[in-house]
Amino acid sequence: MSIDRRKALLFGSAAVLRFILFIVFPQLPDLLTSRAEISTPVTSFKRLQEGLFLYTHSVSPYDGGVFHQAPLFLPLFALIPASAFHIAAVLLYILADIICAHFLILVAEAGAAASSPLFSSPRKDIRWDSLAVGATYLFNPFTLATCLARPTSVFTNGAILCAIANAVRRRPSTAMLALALAAYLSLYPALLLPPLILLCHDHMTTTNTSKPNPPHSAFKLLPIFSGCLAWFMAISYMLTGQSWEFLRSTYGVHLLLPDLTPNVGLWWYFFIEIFDSFREFFLGVFWLHLVGYVGGLSFRMRKQPLFVLMTLIGILAIFQPYPSIADASLYFALLPLYSHIFPLMRYTFFAFATILYATLLGPAFYYLWIYAGSGNANFFYAITLVWSLGLSIIVGECMFAVLRDEWEVERPEMKGKDVRRI
């Protein structure tokens, strides 16, 4: 089997860089692990270690109310000898990042972003090299910080990329398995199911002479997704001593938001401030707002389900209950797939300047609030609003550019002309 030397060099360089950062700055991983921007109550490596300690001492990991992650993480990390736990965990997370980049490269090589079975962009010749797409993920500072902090969201991102890569490569069953794993590890990827089914359907019809319709494909793929998810649940039931306690401690935390630890999201501060009597109502409103994007985007951008997936990942990075920069890094990793729409974007500089502004001032405002005592929660929440604003502008700009690209296909005479709101 021939080895792609460029890909090997890319993966090797990324792995060496991460390993050097772990070795040269031994205190950095522990520092980043405690950062609110990277670690959340449902992804924190420290909380995983707490749950692992209880699990290895034959105590339910969910008894302390600290561990909120999927049970399958426990036997995985329990296999690592205690004497080599640190170095083995480092190598595991480096490998996870390399695998994520591999799946991203497969998606880029398929070229499904610019030319899909239902839509072909007139700018499809403008595309980045697949290795350049992988490099933007591997050397993104957000990705590097995430790898050093070792949250479990790295594995969720890998499962999502695996699902997308298999969908565009006409492997729908594997795609459903990967998305079921992602939904098992972190609840929110289940919202990606409708556009992923559409993506699988579109690529299956290119090789299937019978031309099944989308409901027929959904009827075939939904049982696969449900069966795989049920299988993961059954394994978790056995791992936790034949108890369903893990459901409330993992997915219940996502749905009900009992832990209001500060993060880069919009939920925690709002639910600290509101009266308890309104809590259930606003939980429903916030979740309804999040779920509402799925149907609208899948219907309006039916011709480009891969873009719907990318957009939903960006929206979830803003509006999910416990977001982190790991979620934003996944969205930024997918952006280069749509390099052909970059010339149509209008406020790119302002958007990325806003992201940079929030990235630099976020840690400072958190320090002023928690450590210096010269600020309050409003300081940190204000900068998280700026962060969300920057992400929202990027997501909105990408949607405008894709819709403009489709419009120019429908009306070629309008290509290059300004669009004005009347």
Mean pLDDT of 146-166: 95
Task: Tell me the pTM.
Answer: 0.94
Looking up tokens 């799946």, which residue turns up?
A: 103
Average pLDDT across the chain, whole number: 90
As a whole-number percent, the residues of the chain with pLDDT over 90 amount to 66
| Residue 174 C-alpha from the chain's centroid | 19
Q: Is residue 420 predicted with pLDDT exceeding 90?
A: no
Output the CA–CA distances (angstroms, integers) from residue 195 to 226, 309, 331, in the order listed.
16, 6, 16
Using pLDDT thresholds of 50, 70 and 90, give the confidence band for residue 1: very low
Query: In the prediction, which pLDDT does 214 show?
Result: 77
**416-to-12, 231, 329, 419 alpha-carbon distances in Å:** 43, 52, 32, 9
Number of Cβ within a 10 Å radius of residue 371: 9
Burial status of residue 295 (CB atoms within 10 A of its CB: 0-12, 13-18, 19 or more): exposed
Angle CA(115)–CA(415)–CA(393) in degrees, nearest 5? 70
Residue the block writes with tokens 């928690």: 370
The per-residue pLDDT for 162 is 96
